[in-house]
Amino acid sequence: MAGRRTDTRNRIQQVALELFAERGYEQTTLQEVAERLEITRPALYYHFRTKEEILASVGERLVDSIDELVEWGHAQPKTPESRREILLRIGELLEGQWRPLFKFAQVNQGVMQGMRTGERMQRGMIRMVSLLEVPGADPVRRFEARLAVFAVILGSVPFLFDMEVPESERASVAMEVATKLLGDA
């Protein structure tokens, strides 16, 4: 039964983020979320009482996934292969679990700044980008390692990647640039 509840919560989060991105956070009602999901408002309220609760839970899930990635990354040997694997995992999260939140953030930047999980998210991002740094590297190499993460992120944000590159190729182009920034090839 817990699995079904989690699936429903995930669906609510996904649909709510889609609506927030389409219509704007302030303009979207919980009734519209329930209608899109084809459930009753009381069924929605069983999981989330407010839009703020939905957004906070999405932020928590994002931060938890960053924490998991950072924990995994710290357990890996400091090799070029591990650094590339970290980049690939970041790319997979961006294309999957994080995509709806990034779409939401593009349209609702002010709301994102007010999120309760903002500070934890910022610390997690700093820890995540520092995973790619080679211990003892000079500042230029450390900066390139951090830029590699942002190259992958830019590849998942369509309006920032406004080049004549098909959407299907955007992530692989960004990953190629990120890998070059690591300088491990």
Residue 6: pLDDT band (50, 70, 90) is: low
Residue 3: pLDDT band (50, 70, 90) is: low
Class of residue 169 by CB neighbours under 10 A (exposed 0-12, middle 13-18, buried 19+)? exposed
Q: Is residue 109 part of a domain?
A: yes
Per residue in 82-122, pLDDT tens? 999 999 999 888 887 777 777 777 777 677 666 777 778 78
Q: Is residue 33 part of a domain?
A: no
Residue 138: pLDDT band (50, 70, 90) is: very high
What percent of the chain clears pLDDT 90, i.e. is strictly above it?
Answer: 41
Q: Is residue 36 part of a domain?
A: no
Please indicate, yes or no, whether the overall pTM of this predicted structure exceeds 0.85: no
What whole-number distance in Å separates Cα of residue 11 and Cα of residue 167? 25
What percent of the chain clears pLDDT 70, i.e. is strictly above it?
Answer: 89
Q: Can you give the residue range of the structural domain that contains 85?
A: 51-182
Q: Is residue 174 part of a domain?
A: yes
Q: Is residue 20 part of a domain?
A: no
Q: Is residue 157 part of a domain?
A: yes
Q: Where are the alpha helices (DSSP H) in 75-135?
A: 80-95, 99-107, 109-113, 118-130
Per residue in 39-90, pLDDT tens? 999 999 999 999 989 988 888 888 899 999 999 999 999 889 999 999 999 9
Q: How many domains does the chain have?
A: 1
Q: Is residue 37 part of a domain?
A: no
Q: Which of 53, 52, 20, 49 minimizes the C-alpha distance to 36?
A: 20
Q: Is residue 25 part of a domain?
A: no
